[in-house]
Each structure stands twice: as C-alpha cells, then as structure tokens.
Chain A
Amino acid sequence: GESVGLHLPTLSVQEGDNSIINCAYSNSASDYFIWYKQESGKGPQFIIDIRSNMDKRQGQRVTVLLNKTVKHLSLQIAATQPGDSAVYFCAEMNTNAGKSTFGDGTTLTVKP
C-alpha cells in the first residue's frame, strides 16, 4: 500500500494498511503546502498543511513530509479505512508572490 517517491494517479490499498501518496512540486520559492481530500460529488477538504520551515507534521492518522532538497511532498495515512477512499491532491503556495498551484490528484481506493 505504498508508493514512495513516485506520483501515481491511482493507488489501491487493503483496509488497515498504511498509504503513502506523493507529490512533486515545481517552485523552489513555495513556502506553504496543503494536502486536500476530495470525495466524489464534494468539494476539496483540507487534511493537513506544512510550512517550509518544517519537514514533518503529524495530524490524526496523517503525516505530511516535506523534502525541500528534491521538492517532494508526501502524505502518509495510517491504518487506511474505506472512508479514506477519495482523490488526494497537494497544493504549493508562494505566499510572498501570492501564487498557488495545485498538483495532479491521486485516486486512493481502499479495499475491505
């Protein structure tokens, strides 16, 4: 249930496994990053954010890792549940320039 380093458009995992979703960002000036979850028929929902002065941040069952050297962001979901099935995408922001860019999504499917 992992895809370390590589962005994949789809990821299928077994319920209870851990999931890792990856995102490569393009702008080295980006200083704020967000992961969103979007379920079918709904708008995106904030999951977790991280600022560029950090390399790890933990939430409830989720962890975001930031590697500025290679411009890579990952979202780790522990003990994945069927309700985690959704499209996940990252956003990078250059707050000084007021610019934001969203990544391609990854569709996570959790098999019971």
Chain B
Amino acid sequence: ETGVTQTPRHLVMGMTNKKSLKCEQHLGHNAMYWYKQSAKKPLELMFVYSLEERVENNSVPSRFSPECPNSSHLFLHLHTLQPEDSALYLCASSQYLLYNEQFFGPGTRLTVL
C-alpha cells in the first residue's frame, strides 16, 4: 500500500445527487492533489493543495468543490454532475509541492447516471 487511502472505491450517483470523495494520507506529506483519469485520456490534474491552501485549480467546473481541512485529509464534493464526469478520481500526496515523487491512492471509480 502507498499510505494514501480513498473512500469510497466505487460510487454510482445520479445527476441531481450530492456526494463527497474522501482521501487520507498517512505519510506526513505537505501537498495533496486530485486527479481525473478518463478512459483513453491522459491523467488530468484538477486541484493542488499545499499546507491546506489551494495553489492550483485547473479550470475545473464548479460542480467539483475541493476541501482540505488539514494536511492529512482531502475531500472532493460533487453536485449536479454530468455523465461525462464518470471517471476514476485519484488522490495523491507528496512531501513537497510538485517537485518530487507523488504517492497515489487507489482511486474512486465514479459513474454518473
């Protein structure tokens, strides 16, 4: 295991639902990330947090709302999603921001009906 856990592992939701993805890292890292991985497409960086402060938001729609209450936890709140948002959502952490190895969680497989 990488020291990064994600829950739930699988999630099916309707377009009108509100749900949250949770990520927890047990590595004492200072930076955490949300990525989207769609079939046949490269990994897309969504959000970056460093010391609980958001440092990057890559033009992600507002229906995705991140939250980082402390350096060990990261959430991704979802509301009024679209079917094209179905993907694997990966959380990662690193000791420092970007310029070193990132440890990934197993991901949450999201299906939007």
Residues of A at the B interface (CB closer than 8 Å) are 32, 34, 41-46, 49, 89, 91, 93, 95, 98, 100-105
**Complex Cα gap A102–B106 (Å):** 18
Residues of B at the A interface (CB closer than 8 Å) are 2, 4, 42-45, 48, 55-56, 90, 92, 97-107
Contacts A95-B99, A98-B56 given; does A45 touch B104 at CB 8 Å? yes
Interface SS of chain B = loop
Does B101 contact A89, Cβ atoms closer than 8 Å? no
Residues on B with beta carbons closer than 8 Å to the beta carbon of A32: 98-99
Does B43 contact A102, Cβ atoms closer than 8 Å? yes
Does B106 contact A93, Cβ atoms closer than 8 Å? no
With A95-B99, A105-B42 known, 16 other A-B pairs at CB within 8 A are A32-B99, A34-B102, A43-B4, A43-B90, A43-B92, A43-B105, A44-B90, A45-B104, A46-B102, A89-B42, A93-B99, A95-B98, A98-B97, A98-B98, A101-B42, A102-B44
**Complex Cα gap A98–B105 (Å):** 22
Residue of A nearest to B97 (CB): A98
Contact of B55 among A43, A46, A98, A105 (CB under 8 A): A98
Which of A41, A45, A95, A100 gathers the greatest number of chain B CB atoms within 10 Å?
A100
**Complex Cα gap A33–B21 (Å):** 28
Contact of A46 among B43, B101, B105 (CB under 8 A): B101
Residues on A with beta carbons closer than 8 Å to the beta carbon of B4: 43
Contacts A98-B55, A103-B42 given; does A43 touch B107 at CB 8 Å? yes
